[in-house]
Structure 1
Amino acid sequence: MGSIRIGAVAAAFGRDVEAALARVATLIEHARRSGVDLLVLPDAALGGYIPEFADPDPAELPPALDRDGPELRKVAEMAGEMVVCIGFREAAETGPYNTAACICGEGLLGLHRKVHQPAGEDRVYAAGGVFGAFDTPVGRLGMLVDYDKTFPESARTLALDGAEVVACLSAWPTSITNRAPRMAQDRQSRLFDLYDRSRAAENQVVLVSSNQTGTIGRMRFLGQAKVVGPDGEILARTWAKAGIAVAEVDVESSLGAVRKVLSHLTERRPETYR
């Protein structure tokens, strides 16, 4: 496969699922006009994120949606030949989960349930227990949901499973405990970019980072959607504003170029790690 066009979305999504589907339709149409093959929407795009961690009100939680329900079917119909990653609160017997789905017009390609949970989120979501890559029309892909990317092992597991592109879907807010007067000075803003670039460079993969914008409850989201090359360089970004960061990437060639001299995955020494 040659070059593909990748889009990372920064956008606001609230509780109204029908309004979210309308916004998704608009974003997919904009992406289609830009020739995008892979579009990564934020975590919690269908139904929004929780309003706070400390004491979430059960009456204010996102709706739990079925992975085989009409909402994801509508997104699949909109996607057509495009591959789309989108986040939602998944209804399940062992859940609910904070889940990312990868879909196209033919249906579900892959699913990831968020594994790592910040303090308080376990009151609302169950934790997933697997990181796995899967094949798609645009190559082998893996997914993370926001806090997952804080942990190097998450993306490394996907890379070792053959993921060439890692999609990180986030509803990542500014610092709740020490909010800065300007977003560019915010500690979480700096960490968000640091993790995106580090996970790409250390695994020598293409990383696609989406995020929410706007506010819900006490949460003020960062935006900062971006596409990062396997050398850790940012190829396209939205900064703090809503929009789609679009980059054209020859994934196979770019991975081959950075891994030609130094191949991080094959030069590992796992027998020495504790």
Structure 2
Amino acid sequence: MPNEPTAPETPETRHVRVRCHELAPQLGQLSANLTMIEDAIRAAVIDEVDLLVLPELSTSGYYLRGKDEATSCAIPIAHPILERWAGLLSPNMTVVVGICESRDEALFNTAVTLGSGGVLGVYRKTHLWDGELTIFTAGQDRPAVTETPVGRLGVLICYDLEFPEMPRFLAVGGAEMIAVPTNWPLVPKPSGEHAPEVIQAMAAARSSRVAIACCDRRGAELHNEWTQGSSIIGSDGWPTGTLSGDRVDALLAIDPHRTTISPRNNVIQDRRPALY
């Protein structure tokens, strides 16, 4: 794995190999997409990645043309493919993948966290974007901090990250890292600037001193292009890692003292929520 960690280190610092693998799902083609996801997982296992983050709605594609198409490529959490993928993982590996989930009579834009023992966590997107509102039901549960082989992990999905309360809530809850499967549509930006979504992720990481790994997707879908803005951001707020084709790899330094920013200041303990 290339690159050196950028955040200051202490004797308690540990390092996590993180990969964001930008996939290009075929719209509505479940079987092909499951194969694509499995190939990405197998490659990460070979490369000894600790945390693999894959895009939002990797199993279905994003611009689904109505509930019928979404239903045709939706899977339940109990689907055997998730156990199959978990069985591919080494004991120290974690995968976060976006799926189109069927649950009872509803559809959800969901991120599943997998470890070698099976499903570790399920998060259903709570802030739906544009056309998602016509297909999916918004999740009603707060995002949870899950104990995983790579540490305490929080999960959000795409538009969730644009609400500062969400990453802060996870950081206050003890998250050391936040994984964010995304599908960021390409939007205009000034020359030389980061994509606006990346800037938001950088600000969230720095303000709460929590590492954030955002995995975007690539390719075009129904003439819609993607930002391809996958970013792995340290708890100092700076992007780190190397881009190679459709993958961003980074070695993240996770320091238990990262929220202490001066001898007298801690970004979590200094909060005064009674005044907000």
Distance in 2 (alpha carbons) for counterparts of 1:242 and 1:171: 18
Choose the corresponding residue for 1:18, options 31, 41, 49. Answer: 31
SS at match of 2:22: strand
User: Which piece of structure 1 moves more, 20-29 or 158-167?
Assistant: 20-29
1:98 matched to 2:109: yes
Distance in 2 (alpha carbons) for counterparts of 1:20 and 1:205: 31
Report Cα offsets for 1:141-192 as digits up to 9, x if no partner.
00001000000001111111111100011011113xxxx4xx87599x6212
For residues 217-256 of structure 1, the aligned pairs below 5 Å read 217-236=222-241, 238=243, 242-251=245-254, 253=255, 256=257
User: Which piece of structure 1 moves more, 100-109 or 22-31?
Assistant: 22-31
| Structure 1 residue 22, shift from structure 2 partner | 2.2
One-letter amino acid matched to 1:83:
T
| Structure 1 residue 80, shift from structure 2 partner | 3.7
1:66 matched to 2:66: no
Choose the corresponding residue for 1:108, options 119, 123, 142. Answer: 119
SS at match of 2:166: helix
Percent identity over the alignment is 27
Aligned residues: 258
C-alpha spacing 1:86/1:131, structure 2 compared with 1 (3 Å): same
| Structure 1 residue 18, shift from structure 2 partner | 2.3
SS at match of 1:3: strand
1:201 matched to 2:206: yes
Unaligned runs of 5+ in 1: none
| Structure 1 residue 105, shift from structure 2 partner | 1.9
For residues 37-48 of structure 1, the aligned pairs below 5 Å read 37-48=50-61
Distance in 1 (alpha carbons) for counterparts of 2:133 and 2:166: 19
| Structure 1 residue 242, shift from structure 2 partner | 4.8
C-alpha spacing 1:94/1:134, structure 2 compared with 1 (3 Å): farther
TM-score, L = length of structure 1: 0.86
1:138 matched to 2:150: yes
Report which of the two has the higher share of helix.
1
Unaligned runs of 5+ in 2: 1-12
Distance in 1 (alpha carbons) for counterparts of 2:211 and 2:199: 15
Give the RMSD, CA atoms, in angstroms.
Answer: 2.3
Report Cα offsets for 1:4-36 as digits up to 9, x if no partner.
211112121123222222222322233233321
Report Cα offsets for 1:213-262 as digits up to 9, x if no partner.
11222432221212100110111253xx85221111231x2x52452414
SS at match of 2:152: strand
